[in-house]
Structure 1
Amino acid sequence: MTLSTPVSTLANCPCDSSAAYTACCQPYHQGAAAPTPEALMRSRYSAFTLNVSDYLLATWHVSTRPAQLLLDPATQWKSLTIVAAPPAKEGQGTVHFLAYFREQARWHVLEENSRFVFEEGRWWYVDGVPTIERLKPRRNERCLCGSGRKLKSCCGE
Protein backbone atom coordinates (compact mmCIF):
# COMPACT_ATOMS: atom_id res chain seq x y z
CA MET A 1 0.00 0.00 0.00
CA THR A 2 1.57 3.29 -1.08
CA LEU A 3 -0.14 6.52 -0.15
CA SER A 4 0.63 10.12 -0.85
CA THR A 5 2.32 12.03 1.93
CA PRO A 6 0.13 14.67 3.54
CA VAL A 7 1.77 18.05 3.70
CA SER A 8 2.49 19.02 7.28
CA THR A 9 4.76 21.63 8.74
CA LEU A 10 4.02 20.48 12.28
CA ALA A 11 7.00 19.52 14.38
CA ASN A 12 4.84 17.45 16.73
CA CYS A 13 2.60 14.69 15.47
CA PRO A 14 -1.12 15.50 15.54
CA CYS A 15 -1.74 12.27 17.53
CA ASP A 16 -0.33 13.90 20.71
CA SER A 17 2.44 11.31 21.09
CA SER A 18 5.06 14.06 21.74
CA ALA A 19 7.09 12.68 18.81
CA ALA A 20 7.75 14.47 15.53
CA TYR A 21 5.25 13.70 12.77
CA THR A 22 8.05 12.38 10.55
CA ALA A 23 9.03 9.83 13.24
CA CYS A 24 5.50 8.96 14.34
CA CYS A 25 2.50 8.77 11.98
CA GLN A 26 4.00 9.89 8.67
CA PRO A 27 5.63 6.50 7.91
CA TYR A 28 2.22 4.82 8.32
CA HIS A 29 0.59 7.44 6.08
CA GLN A 30 3.25 6.53 3.50
CA GLY A 31 2.42 2.81 3.64
CA ALA A 32 4.37 1.29 6.54
CA ALA A 33 2.37 -1.19 8.63
CA ALA A 34 1.42 0.04 12.11
CA PRO A 35 2.88 -2.41 14.68
CA THR A 36 0.00 -2.20 17.21
CA PRO A 37 -3.68 -1.26 17.33
CA GLU A 38 -2.74 1.88 19.28
CA ALA A 39 -0.24 2.97 16.60
CA LEU A 40 -2.91 2.43 13.94
CA MET A 41 -5.46 4.36 16.01
CA ARG A 42 -3.04 7.27 16.45
CA SER A 43 -2.20 7.31 12.73
CA ARG A 44 -5.90 7.28 11.84
CA TYR A 45 -6.54 10.21 14.20
CA SER A 46 -3.66 12.09 12.52
CA ALA A 47 -5.21 11.30 9.14
CA PHE A 48 -8.48 12.86 10.33
CA THR A 49 -6.63 16.00 11.46
CA LEU A 50 -4.80 16.22 8.11
CA ASN A 51 -7.86 15.27 5.97
CA VAL A 52 -6.19 12.17 4.50
CA SER A 53 -9.29 10.13 3.69
CA ASP A 54 -7.44 7.70 1.39
CA TYR A 55 -5.40 6.48 4.38
CA LEU A 56 -8.51 6.08 6.52
CA LEU A 57 -10.17 3.93 3.87
CA ALA A 58 -6.96 1.96 3.20
CA THR A 59 -6.67 0.98 6.89
CA TRP A 60 -10.35 0.10 7.33
CA HIS A 61 -11.11 -3.63 7.29
CA VAL A 62 -12.83 -4.67 4.06
CA SER A 63 -15.77 -6.20 5.99
CA THR A 64 -16.84 -2.82 7.42
CA ARG A 65 -15.19 -0.28 5.08
CA PRO A 66 -17.56 2.30 3.58
CA ALA A 67 -17.49 2.88 -0.17
CA GLN A 68 -16.37 6.46 0.39
CA LEU A 69 -15.52 8.76 3.27
CA LEU A 70 -16.25 12.45 3.09
CA LEU A 71 -14.38 14.43 5.73
CA ASP A 72 -15.66 17.84 6.79
CA PRO A 73 -12.77 20.30 6.43
CA ALA A 74 -14.53 22.61 8.92
CA THR A 75 -14.04 20.05 11.71
CA GLN A 76 -10.93 20.97 13.69
CA TRP A 77 -9.51 17.95 15.51
CA LYS A 78 -7.66 19.35 18.54
CA SER A 79 -6.39 16.54 20.77
CA LEU A 80 -6.38 12.80 21.35
CA THR A 81 -6.34 10.97 24.66
CA ILE A 82 -5.80 7.22 24.75
CA VAL A 83 -7.82 5.94 27.73
CA ALA A 84 -6.86 2.28 27.35
CA ALA A 85 -4.96 0.18 24.82
CA PRO A 86 -4.53 -3.30 26.29
CA PRO A 87 -2.05 -5.65 24.63
CA ALA A 88 -3.55 -7.38 21.60
CA LYS A 89 -4.45 -11.06 21.93
CA GLU A 90 -4.90 -13.65 19.20
CA GLY A 91 -4.89 -11.13 16.38
CA GLN A 92 -7.47 -8.83 17.95
CA GLY A 93 -7.08 -5.55 19.76
CA THR A 94 -9.03 -2.64 21.17
CA VAL A 95 -8.31 1.02 21.83
CA HIS A 96 -10.50 3.24 24.00
CA PHE A 97 -9.94 6.91 23.17
CA LEU A 98 -11.27 10.44 23.49
CA ALA A 99 -10.89 12.85 20.56
CA TYR A 100 -11.63 16.53 21.15
CA PHE A 101 -12.77 18.67 18.24
CA ARG A 102 -14.43 21.94 17.28
CA GLU A 103 -17.22 22.43 14.78
CA GLN A 104 -18.93 25.75 14.18
CA ALA A 105 -17.20 27.29 17.24
CA ARG A 106 -18.53 24.52 19.49
CA TRP A 107 -16.42 21.99 21.38
CA HIS A 108 -17.19 18.26 21.33
CA VAL A 109 -15.60 15.04 22.49
CA LEU A 110 -15.87 11.79 20.55
CA GLU A 111 -15.41 8.70 22.72
CA GLU A 112 -15.00 5.28 21.16
CA ASN A 113 -13.89 1.76 21.94
CA SER A 114 -12.41 0.74 18.60
CA ARG A 115 -11.85 -2.85 17.48
CA PHE A 116 -8.88 -3.94 15.38
CA VAL A 117 -7.89 -7.19 13.71
CA PHE A 118 -4.49 -8.44 12.51
CA GLU A 119 -4.66 -9.98 9.02
CA GLU A 120 -2.28 -10.20 6.07
CA GLY A 121 0.57 -8.88 8.23
CA ARG A 122 -1.25 -5.64 9.12
CA TRP A 123 -3.59 -4.21 11.72
CA TRP A 124 -6.97 -3.08 10.40
CA TYR A 125 -9.64 -0.87 11.97
CA VAL A 126 -12.87 -2.90 12.15
CA ASP A 127 -15.39 -0.74 13.96
CA GLY A 128 -16.36 1.04 17.13
CA VAL A 129 -19.38 2.54 18.78
CA PRO A 130 -18.77 6.28 19.00
CA THR A 131 -20.54 8.66 21.31
CA ILE A 132 -20.30 12.40 20.81
CA GLU A 133 -20.89 14.86 23.61
CA ARG A 134 -21.05 18.62 23.28
CA LEU A 135 -18.79 20.38 25.76
CA LYS A 136 -19.17 23.86 27.18
CA PRO A 137 -15.76 24.87 28.51
CA ARG A 138 -15.44 28.22 30.26
CA ARG A 139 -12.96 30.85 29.06
CA ASN A 140 -10.66 30.45 32.09
CA GLU A 141 -10.51 26.64 31.92
CA ARG A 142 -7.54 24.87 30.36
CA CYS A 143 -7.88 24.60 26.60
CA LEU A 144 -9.11 21.24 25.34
CA CYS A 145 -6.39 21.16 22.68
CA GLY A 146 -3.90 20.05 25.33
CA SER A 147 -1.67 23.14 25.21
CA GLY A 148 -1.98 23.74 28.95
CA ARG A 149 -2.99 27.37 28.33
CA LYS A 150 -6.33 28.93 29.22
CA LEU A 151 -9.01 28.54 26.56
CA LYS A 152 -9.43 32.30 26.14
CA SER A 153 -5.76 32.73 25.18
CA CYS A 154 -5.53 29.59 23.07
CA CYS A 155 -8.34 28.15 20.92
CA GLY A 156 -11.10 30.34 22.41
CA GLU A 157 -12.76 33.03 20.42
Structure 2
Amino acid sequence: MAAKANADISELLTCSVCFDDYKDPRTIPCGHSFCLHCLENISDRKRVFECPVCRAETAVPEGGASQFVITFVLKLLKDAVERTEGEEEYHFYCEKCRELLTYQTAATTHQGHKYHNIQVSYANHLEALKKSLICLRARTEDVAADREVLLQVESDILKQKEQIREEIVTV
Protein backbone atom coordinates (compact mmCIF):
# COMPACT_ATOMS: atom_id res chain seq x y z
CA MET A 1 0.00 0.00 0.00
CA ALA A 2 2.87 2.37 0.83
CA ALA A 3 4.48 1.60 -2.53
CA LYS A 4 1.23 2.58 -4.35
CA ALA A 5 1.00 5.80 -2.35
CA ASN A 6 4.64 6.60 -3.14
CA ALA A 7 3.99 5.93 -6.84
CA ASP A 8 1.01 8.34 -6.77
CA ILE A 9 3.08 10.95 -4.95
CA SER A 10 5.99 10.45 -7.36
CA GLU A 11 3.62 11.19 -10.23
CA LEU A 12 2.66 14.45 -8.52
CA LEU A 13 6.35 15.28 -8.24
CA THR A 14 6.86 15.13 -12.00
CA CYS A 15 7.19 18.32 -14.01
CA SER A 16 4.53 18.46 -16.76
CA VAL A 17 6.99 20.10 -19.17
CA CYS A 18 10.06 17.81 -19.01
CA PHE A 19 8.25 14.78 -17.48
CA ASP A 20 11.12 14.32 -15.06
CA ASP A 21 11.30 14.80 -11.29
CA TYR A 22 11.14 18.46 -10.35
CA LYS A 23 14.50 20.16 -10.25
CA ASP A 24 14.35 23.41 -8.30
CA PRO A 25 10.52 23.59 -8.50
CA ARG A 26 8.90 27.02 -8.87
CA THR A 27 5.24 28.02 -8.73
CA ILE A 28 3.72 30.57 -11.10
CA PRO A 29 0.73 32.77 -10.19
CA CYS A 30 -1.91 30.35 -11.56
CA GLY A 31 -0.68 27.78 -9.00
CA HIS A 32 1.07 25.34 -11.33
CA SER A 33 4.66 24.34 -10.66
CA PHE A 34 7.53 23.59 -13.02
CA CYS A 35 11.29 23.08 -12.90
CA LEU A 36 13.21 26.35 -12.94
CA HIS A 37 15.03 25.37 -16.13
CA CYS A 38 11.69 24.55 -17.82
CA LEU A 39 10.31 27.96 -16.83
CA GLU A 40 13.47 29.60 -18.14
CA ASN A 41 13.02 27.81 -21.49
CA ILE A 42 9.30 28.68 -21.71
CA SER A 43 9.77 32.34 -20.78
CA ASP A 44 13.02 32.87 -22.67
CA ARG A 45 13.23 36.60 -23.55
CA LYS A 46 9.49 37.09 -23.06
CA ARG A 47 7.63 39.38 -20.72
CA VAL A 48 4.51 37.20 -20.74
CA PHE A 49 3.99 33.48 -21.48
CA GLU A 50 1.14 30.99 -21.28
CA CYS A 51 1.08 28.40 -18.51
CA PRO A 52 1.69 25.01 -20.19
CA VAL A 53 -1.12 23.46 -18.13
CA CYS A 54 -4.00 25.96 -17.99
CA ARG A 55 -2.86 28.50 -20.63
CA ALA A 56 -3.21 31.41 -18.17
CA GLU A 57 -1.11 34.38 -19.16
CA THR A 58 1.81 34.72 -16.80
CA ALA A 59 4.04 37.75 -16.47
CA VAL A 60 7.73 37.04 -16.08
CA PRO A 61 9.02 38.77 -12.93
CA GLU A 62 11.71 41.40 -13.09
CA GLY A 63 14.95 39.41 -12.94
CA GLY A 64 13.61 36.40 -14.87
CA ALA A 65 12.10 33.01 -14.07
CA SER A 66 14.38 32.52 -11.07
CA GLN A 67 12.22 35.10 -9.27
CA PHE A 68 9.14 32.83 -9.26
CA VAL A 69 8.33 31.45 -5.81
CA ILE A 70 10.32 28.39 -4.80
CA THR A 71 7.95 25.49 -4.12
CA PHE A 72 9.35 24.27 -0.82
CA VAL A 73 6.52 21.78 -0.24
CA LEU A 74 7.37 19.93 -3.46
CA LYS A 75 11.06 19.85 -2.54
CA LEU A 76 10.29 18.49 0.94
CA LEU A 77 7.79 15.95 -0.41
CA LYS A 78 10.28 14.76 -3.05
CA ASP A 79 12.94 14.28 -0.35
CA ALA A 80 10.47 12.35 1.85
CA VAL A 81 9.49 10.03 -1.01
CA GLU A 82 13.12 9.36 -1.88
CA ARG A 83 13.83 8.43 1.76
CA THR A 84 10.91 5.99 1.95
CA GLU A 85 11.15 4.37 -1.50
CA GLY A 86 12.18 0.77 -1.24
CA GLU A 87 11.33 0.63 2.45
CA GLU A 88 8.56 -1.77 3.20
CA GLU A 89 7.41 -2.41 6.72
CA TYR A 90 7.39 -6.12 7.44
CA HIS A 91 5.11 -7.20 10.25
CA PHE A 92 4.72 -10.96 9.76
CA TYR A 93 6.67 -14.11 8.92
CA CYS A 94 5.02 -16.81 6.79
CA GLU A 95 5.94 -20.24 8.16
CA LYS A 96 4.91 -22.00 4.93
CA CYS A 97 6.87 -19.81 2.51
CA ARG A 98 9.56 -18.76 4.99
CA GLU A 99 9.43 -15.09 4.06
CA LEU A 100 8.70 -11.73 5.63
CA LEU A 101 5.30 -10.19 4.91
CA THR A 102 3.77 -6.74 4.88
CA TYR A 103 0.15 -6.24 5.91
CA GLN A 104 -0.81 -6.25 2.23
CA THR A 105 1.00 -9.45 1.26
CA ALA A 106 -0.27 -11.22 4.38
CA ALA A 107 -3.84 -10.32 3.45
CA THR A 108 -3.56 -11.13 -0.25
CA THR A 109 -0.94 -13.59 -1.48
CA HIS A 110 -0.57 -15.52 1.80
CA GLN A 111 -4.22 -16.08 2.74
CA GLY A 112 -4.62 -19.43 4.47
CA HIS A 113 -0.91 -19.69 5.28
CA LYS A 114 0.32 -19.93 8.84
CA TYR A 115 2.05 -16.66 9.70
CA HIS A 116 2.95 -14.86 12.92
CA ASN A 117 3.99 -11.46 14.12
CA ILE A 118 7.73 -11.01 13.41
CA GLN A 119 8.66 -10.77 17.11
CA VAL A 120 6.72 -13.96 17.97
CA SER A 121 8.21 -15.79 15.01
CA TYR A 122 11.71 -14.57 15.91
CA ALA A 123 11.31 -15.83 19.49
CA ASN A 124 10.00 -19.21 18.27
CA HIS A 125 12.83 -19.65 15.77
CA LEU A 126 15.44 -18.55 18.32
CA GLU A 127 14.14 -21.12 20.82
CA ALA A 128 14.20 -23.85 18.15
CA LEU A 129 17.79 -22.91 17.24
CA LYS A 130 18.84 -23.06 20.89
CA LYS A 131 17.35 -26.56 21.22
CA SER A 132 19.11 -27.64 18.02
CA LEU A 133 22.38 -26.25 19.32
CA ILE A 134 22.03 -28.24 22.56
CA CYS A 135 21.38 -31.42 20.53
CA LEU A 136 24.33 -30.70 18.24
CA ARG A 137 26.66 -30.14 21.18
CA ALA A 138 25.55 -33.43 22.75
CA ARG A 139 26.02 -35.21 19.42
CA THR A 140 29.48 -33.63 19.05
CA GLU A 141 30.44 -34.99 22.47
CA ASP A 142 29.15 -38.47 21.43
CA VAL A 143 31.17 -38.32 18.20
CA ALA A 144 34.29 -37.26 20.13
CA ALA A 145 33.82 -40.18 22.54
CA ASP A 146 33.29 -42.59 19.61
CA ARG A 147 36.46 -41.26 18.01
CA GLU A 148 38.45 -41.98 21.17
CA VAL A 149 37.09 -45.54 21.23
CA LEU A 150 37.97 -46.03 17.55
CA LEU A 151 41.48 -44.70 18.09
CA GLN A 152 41.93 -47.13 20.97
CA VAL A 153 40.62 -50.03 18.82
CA GLU A 154 42.99 -49.00 16.02
CA SER A 155 45.89 -48.93 18.47
CA ASP A 156 44.96 -52.39 19.78
CA ILE A 157 44.73 -53.79 16.23
CA LEU A 158 48.16 -52.37 15.37
CA LYS A 159 49.62 -54.00 18.50
CA GLN A 160 48.02 -57.32 17.58
CA LYS A 161 49.39 -56.98 14.08
CA GLU A 162 52.91 -56.49 15.42
CA GLN A 163 52.53 -59.47 17.77
CA ILE A 164 51.34 -61.69 14.91
CA ARG A 165 54.20 -60.52 12.70
CA GLU A 166 56.72 -61.30 15.42
CA GLU A 167 55.20 -64.77 15.89
CA ILE A 168 55.42 -65.45 12.15
CA VAL A 169 59.03 -64.30 11.97
CA THR A 170 60.07 -66.40 14.97
CA VAL A 171 58.49 -69.56 13.62
- Determine which structure has the larger helix proportion and give its number: 2
Q: Which has the larger radius of gyration?
A: 2
Which of structures 1 and 2 has the larger relative contact order (alpha carbons within 8 angstroms, sep 6+)?
A: 1
TM-score range, shorter chain: under 0.3
Q: TM-score, normalised by structure 2?
A: 0.21
Q: TM-score, normalised by structure 1?
A: 0.22
